[in-house]
Structure 1
């Protein structure tokens, strides 16, 4: 009887742990899409202004004050600039969705872009200027469930560059285009 009870308790415990993981993932994904949309809205508002540079500073400064007052931390001027940059980088950046078929129910932006990683991952990824390299690290992060620390370690160890220098250059190119999985 006690053994059956322990199995039952473990099943319930696993269910709760999975639910917690799903909630965390949902919150992270919602944040990423929200930040993308805020970036889009900042760009659109800036484009409606006469003097872009001055108008942009004004918009971001006022938006930061407003959001911080209403929602607390997380909306500093530098964060809003990150949202803006995120939109600029990812609004026209597309990765084939075929390898990510397990995420078919994820929402998409108006440009049909889907996001699968946390905001912290994208902060790291958007600083990679080489598009193929950025795609490679994004794809590998998703497919291998890399934490941010693993992504940083792989990037800092120049994984993409080392693979690019290897004999299998074609394989690395296919990876960065999401056409082949690294084995």
Structure 2
């Protein structure tokens, strides 16, 4: 915008546009980072705790203990069910670069419920 376009009414509009664009960008960055973090948690659970197996040998108790420790330190979002979702998300998407960058964790959580991989990719 030029200085001539920044008359009192236009100045307000220009500032609100900048704020709205910044907020939109922040939401996108947060969503992307959240999905990336949850994918990485799923990877760690599968690869380090399960040695690549579909399920850990130690059973549900270990996941419950992990959930409690994470929740105590980081708050909501790390219950055993969500950790299982993170694990499933990683198992269905083992290549990070193949994950759609514009999807939120809520979208990913819905998609992991679709058993047919072709249908899942279509909906993504």
Q: What TM-score does the superposition give when structure 1 sets the normalisation length?
A: 0.58
> What is the aligned counterpart of 1:82 among 72, 75, 85?
85
8 Å contact kept, 1:42–1:59: no
Which deviations, in whole Å up to 9, do the C-alpha atoms of 1:8-56 show, x marking residues without a partner? 11011011001001101111110101000000100123334xxx65514
SS at match of 1:121: helix
Q: Structure 2 CA distance, aligned partners of 1:58 and 1:83?
A: 17
Q: Among residues 95, 113, 117, which one is paired with 2:98 in the alignment?
A: 113
1:99-129 C-alpha deviation (Å, 9 max, x unpaired):
xxxxxxxxxx3xx324321000011111112
Query: Which among 10, 18, 22 is matched to residue 13 of structure 2?
Result: 10
Deviating above 3 A after TM superposition, structure 1's stretches of 4 or more consecutive aligned residues are none
User: Among residues 25, 29, 32, which one is paired with 1:29 in the alignment?
Assistant: 32
Instruction: Note the residue ranges of structure 1 that are not aligned, 5 or more in a row.
Output: 93-108, 139-183
Instruction: Give the CA RMSD over aligned residues.
Output: 2.0
Mind listing any 5+ residue stretches in structure 2 that lack a counterpart?
none
1-side partners of 2:62 and 2:47: how far apart? 11
State the aligned residue count.
116
Q: Deviations over 1:63-92 (max 9, x none)?
A: 101110001111101010100011111115
What TM-score does the superposition give when structure 2 sets the normalisation length? 0.83
Which secondary structure does the structure 1 equivalent of 2:98 belong to? Answer: coil
Task: Verify the 8 A CA contact 2:70 2:78 in the aligned structure 1.
Answer: yes
Contact 1:46/1:55 (CA < 8 Å) preserved in 2?
no
* Match of residue 66, structure 1, among 64, 69, 92: 69
- Residues 58 and 45 from structure 1, CA distance in 2 versus in 1: closer, same or farther, beyond 3 angstroms? farther
1:60 Cα deviation (Å)?
1.1
Q: 2: CA distance between counterparts of 1:24 and 1:72? A: 20
Aligned twin of 1:134: 120
Q: Does 1:124 align with 2:113?
A: no
